[in-house]
Amino acid sequence: MNKTVLITGATSGLGYEFVKMFAADGYDLVLVARNKLKMEEIKSHYSNSKVTVIEKDLSNQYAAKEVFEEVKAAGITINTLVNNAGFGLMGKFDELQISKQSEMIQLNITALTELTYYFLPEMRNSSNAARILNVASTAAFQPGPLMAVYYATKAYVLSFSEALAEELTDTNVTVTTLCPGATKTNFASVANVEKTKMFSGAMSSQEVAEEGYRALLSGKRVVITGSTNKLGAYAAKFLPRSLAAKIAKYVAKEA
Ligand SMILES: NC(=O)c1ccc[n+]([C@@H]2O[C@H](COP(=O)([O-])OP(=O)(O)OC[C@H]3O[C@@H](n4cnc5c(N)ncnc54)[C@H](OP(=O)(O)O)[C@@H]3O)[C@@H](O)[C@H]2O)c1
């Protein structure tokens, strides 16, 4: 039976690393992002896999449903869903454009939730193992002043995914949440955080994706990448939230 993975944000960074790993393991691929040219270029490298390209801005209101309908119209069944697309923004909440912050909520939260909702029934009905990987962040573990909405979106992703994993106990579907810390991708330039203290020790996108991939295949519920990030997330559990917020504000400043 063919294994097919749908990966959002497949054109760069972690998403592109996942494309390489799933293709190497013989999966057929459904790539979702805005940059069609880049996805067609990626497709041209994988003649051994069936690759379907879906050009979609997932920050649009009905995008997730449209993706689901396009996948169904193509007769494709998804066994693995990787909700990876997302972005952040650095700045004071009241000084950033509200339209950009709403776009972030739509992409990081709504699209991820709705894609999971639409694809879950067929994944549950499958007689084979099915897997969901939701990309959160170490931002999920504390409030994040100067990136307030971004941190909150990732707290949602972690909470939602852990709850869903528990709901799906004893089914064929596992839900894994990947919580990377700073990672070398286009994220930092999009979010305008390249010069911050938090990005001084960024991990490579390959290392992070490999940890996420291993966790996904083993059905692990939550994976925090890298030992420093694991320690930070662990410490955040024991600190008062107000102090954790002060530390997050400090690392958001220029190095
Ligand atoms: N890098 C880090 O330090 C870091 C740390 C923790 C968590 N994360 C999370 O990791 C995930 C992947 O990010 P990355 O680091 O790999 O960043 P990236 O290199 O900027 O990749 C983001 C991907 O998302 C896609 N995307 C962005 N906006 C989209 C939209 N409106 N509709 C559809 N696709 C969209 C982009 O493709 P197009 O431009 O072609 O649409 C791109 O493929 C995100 O959820 C991010 O929050 C990253």
CA atoms within 13 A on the CB side of 223: 22
Mutate to test the pocket of ligand 1, among 60, 61, 84 (most ligand atoms within 8 A of CB): 84
- Distance in Å, CA 85 to ligand 1 centroid: 4
pLDDT band at 255 (very low <50, low <70, confident <90, very high): confident
52 lines ligand 1 (CB under 6 A): no
Residue 1 has pLDDT above 90, yes or no: no
The predicted pLDDT at position 40 comes to 97
| CATH architecture for residues 4-251 | 3-Layer(aba) Sandwich (3.40)
- Distance in Å, CA 183 to ligand 1 centroid: 11
Ligand 1 atom at shortest distance from the alpha carbon of 185: 19
22-76 pLDDT, tens digit each: 999 999 999 999 999 999 999 999 988 899 999 999 999 999 999 999 999 999 9
For 2-19, what is the mean pLDDT?
A: 97
Ligand 1 atom at shortest distance from the alpha carbon of 199: 3
Amino acid at 67: V
14 lines ligand 1 (CB under 6 A): yes
Residue 194 has pLDDT above 80, yes or no: yes
Cβ distance 30 to 80 under 8 Å?
no
59 lines ligand 1 (CB under 6 A): yes
Instruction: Give the pairing type, strands 51-55 and 28-33.
Output: parallel
120-172 pLDDT, tens digit each: 999 999 999 999 999 999 999 999 999 999 999 999 999 999 999 999 999 99
176 lines ligand 1 (CB under 6 A): no
- Distance in Å, CA 170 to ligand 1 centroid: 32
79-106 pLDDT, tens digit each: 999 999 999 999 999 999 999 999 999 9
The predicted pLDDT at position 2 comes to 80
Amino acid at 6: L
- Distance in Å, CA 184 to ligand 1 centroid: 11
